[in-house]
Chains A and B, each alone.
Chain A
């Protein structure tokens, strides 16, 4: 929460840049969820920042910045995926493990693959739900960001859990 007076235009950009620095991982996480390569991920992250900046003058400082950022970033990400069409929807999302050559293989490889598979199978809105859940947002906050009821969030999370179990079974993971 950021309670302060709205600065004049000259300071607005600095204020926005500071807030963005604090929340930059959220931007990357959304970009990562809706893309399938590093260049694509960076492009989408840039697009998200452009949309955030355009909307920033209307941002109400009395409301949480993270909720506002997630709403815009997810909308840009979903629209990006829809523009790319169903062909891109079927591709496996960007897995940073495959793009960081210094990272040694670890025991986390299998869960990482499972997570990547799960994300790839989901429709754009369910991807948003999964991202927010994994990011440990409360059901109330998820409901506020997505614009659905808390009970709907709970129902859909349970369905995601069931889907993951089935996916794990089909991949031979306990």
Chain B
């Protein structure tokens, strides 16, 4: 059997397919255009929102730690959240850059490479942000208390902060454990969100693009 022998088979299947699918594309065009616009909204809104949120955190926490250089709790908490805010900004900027490189009418390999890079970035940055949020929970509480009531929570309630830090460490360990367990127990559900899968998709595109 040669590949060219399959061409007639392909055309026969094509005809049958055309008959068997009753889908009226003309009607579809009329009804689906509104949905298309709605589906674009999250993509358009999410990144600027993250950018604004990251900038607000970075500016507020930057001012906080610079004004409290002699208070270790506020200095370290402010600095930690300042870096997290910058991380949010960098992540949003990178996503915007990767998204704007995607043009649906580009050649297939180009767009698949850009989509694979976006997915790879998303899966990696999500895990880093998840780790940072767990690790910085005590800092968040200290900064929130300072912002809302003006008190230094580390001075007022040191044991509570220690307990929260311990809880953060346990939470981080548990979420890591769940991550490992989920990838083994539900690989089909989990694989689309894993770094390894995103890397494999990127590798697949690069291999195809090479001769």
Contacts and interface: CB of A to CB of B under 8 A. Distances in A.
Contact of B3 (A49, A74, A148, A164): A164
A17 B26 contact: yes
A164 B2 contact: yes
Contacts of B20: 38, 96, 99-100
Contacts of A45: 21, 23, 25
Contacts of B7: 134, 136
Contacts of A123: 204, 208
B17 A96 contact: yes
Nearest to B200: A86
B160 interface: no
B1 A133 contact: no
Contact of B108 (A55, A74, A168): A74
Interface residues of B, number: 50
B16 interface: yes
Interface string B89-126: 00000000000000011111111100100000000000
Interface residues of A, number: 75
Main secondary structure of the interface of A (DSSP, over half): helix
B104 A54 contact: yes
B19 interface: yes
Contacts of A49: 25, 28-29, 32
Interface of A: 13, 16-17, 20-21, 24-25, 27-29, 32, 38, 41-42, 45-46, 49-51, 53-55, 58-59, 68, 71-72, 74-75, 78-79, 82-83, 85-87, 95-97, 99-100, 103, 108, 111-112, 114-115, 118, 123-126, 128, 133-136, 144-149, 151-152, 155-157, 160-161, 164-165, 168, 173-174
13 contacts: A45-B25, A50-B32, A53-B32, A55-B105, A71-B107, A74-B108, A95-B13, A100-B19, A115-B13, A124-B112, A125-B108, A125-B109, A134-B6
